[in-house]
Amino acid sequence: MSAALNSDFIRQVPKTDLHLHLDGSLRLETLIELAREQKVELPSATPAGLRELVFKDRYADLPDYLRGFAYTCAVLRTAEALERAAFELAEDNLAEGVRYIEVRFAPQLHCDRDLSAKDVISAVARGLDRAKARHNAAPAVRGGEDLPFEFGIIVCALRSFNARMSPYYRRLLDVLRTAPRKEAFAVASLEMARAAVDLRDREGLPIVGFDLAGEEAGYPAADHRAAYQYAHSHFLKKTVHAGEAYGPESIFQAITECHANRIGHGTFLFAREMVRDPEIPDPERYVHRLAEYIASERITLEVCLTSNLQTAPEIPRAEDHPLRRMIENEMSVSICTDNRLVSHTTVTRELELVVRHLAPTPHQFRNLILAGFKGSFYPGVYRDKRAYVRRVIERYERLEREYGLAGKAEP
């Protein structure tokens, strides 16, 4: 690791996490405690056992990685559990210097007969608000020495689901039992988009974006076009999991069919060998133009290094991750955790991996940090966002001077 860009500096700088799944980021001890209270059976009742059996260092593929969500979602079906998980997640981020997060989850996964989508989102918002109030009341924040904590909520639709995943999906599939399965997926997405807009506008909930998560192969984003058009027409920002386990065409579809403002992962953006459409005569040119469009439009890529290393056998080492090429192409890239529990990581650890294995210059590292703040779906008005980013930059520049980095960044 660079002597200047050391672990202490990384811990001190203000950070963001724009790609952060609530149900993938519980404290392991909390998962065990909630499972015991709610009589949810786990493969092991100890942290070590769960690390060995479920939340591993390496996974066979994305479906294997997603297996642990069956347990985390099962314990997040009460308002109290959701509020606690959100509060603890915010506290964990604050402890490592993260000052802005966007927490995403699929409310329909947590709905039950006594818990509506509004109840789910309200509970998460209460937990995040509680952590925010505690931090922002601190003397260091009130005196301007530390940055205030801010957050937004991103609601997720799922590319696919089955009846076992939640009571909501079971009821929906029963109602639409004679319809093609992809029609049910589209109906659920549109219903979630409508609910997100309504809860933002009528209830004032801090919903800042709409997302589509789940397996890409066989479940194209275009099937959810109506939901994204509704979000787009109602000024709700949009991100899409794309290019995580599929090629550049998935990213292209997210941008052209779903009006994506950001891309979740984008791992295989440059993989011209994964272009499958025979109508694309020159995959290399196609990939080049797609990358240039993303760079020039400042469509932020939410890169989750550890998560990708755990689920993509094509990327055996951090040095092989396309993040290096993204940085060299001066793209807007924000470093994220994806799932703090499932990937056993933190924002600080992700940034340390970047510095250790990809050796960004001080200027490039600064851009990675600021991209998270600039590319955020900040819940306030644009003028407030600009003021907040300016405070971040001032704080970052003070730390650069303190750690001897001032003047080392390229213009």
Is residue 208 helix, strand or coil? strand
Residue 2 is given by DSSP the state: -
Q: Helices 362-374 & 347-358, crossing angle to 10 degrees?
A: 150
- Nearest CA to 302 out of 242, 227, 235 is that of 242
Strands 15-21 and 333-335: unpaired
Using CA atoms of 393, 397, 400, 406 in order, give the dihedral in degrees to the nearest 10: 120
214 and 242 in contact (C-beta within 8 Å)? no
Across 271-392, where does the E strand assignment appear? 300-303, 333-335
C-alpha neighbours within 13 Å on the C-beta side of residue 54: 22
Residue 101's SS3 state is: strand
State the DSSP code for 148.
Answer: P
Report residue 329: phi and psi, to 5°: -90, 10
Quick one: how far is CA 37 from the chain centroid?
28
**Contact criterion met (CB below 8 Å) for 286 and 280:** yes
Pairwise CA distance, residues 312 & 59, whole Å: 9
> How far apart, in whole angstroms, are the C-alpha atoms of residue 326 and residue 367?
12
Q: Is 158 helix (H, G, I), strand (E, B) or coil?
A: strand
Q: Examine the residue annotation and report whether 91 is marked as an active-site residue of this protein.
A: no
User: What CA–CA distance (Å, rounded) separates 137 from 127?
Assistant: 16
The identity of residue 96, as a single letter, is E
Q: Which of 83, 216, 244, 352 is catalytic?
A: 244
Distance from C-alpha of 342 to C-alpha of 59, rounded to nearest angstrom: 10
Identify the three-state secondary structure at position 93: helix
Radius of gyration (C-alpha) of the chain in whole angstroms? 20
Task: State both tokens at 394.
Answer: 């001032």
Beta bridge partners of 209: 154, 237
Secondary structure class of 20 (helix, strand, coil): strand
Total length of the chain: 411
Residues annotated catalytic, as ranges: 244
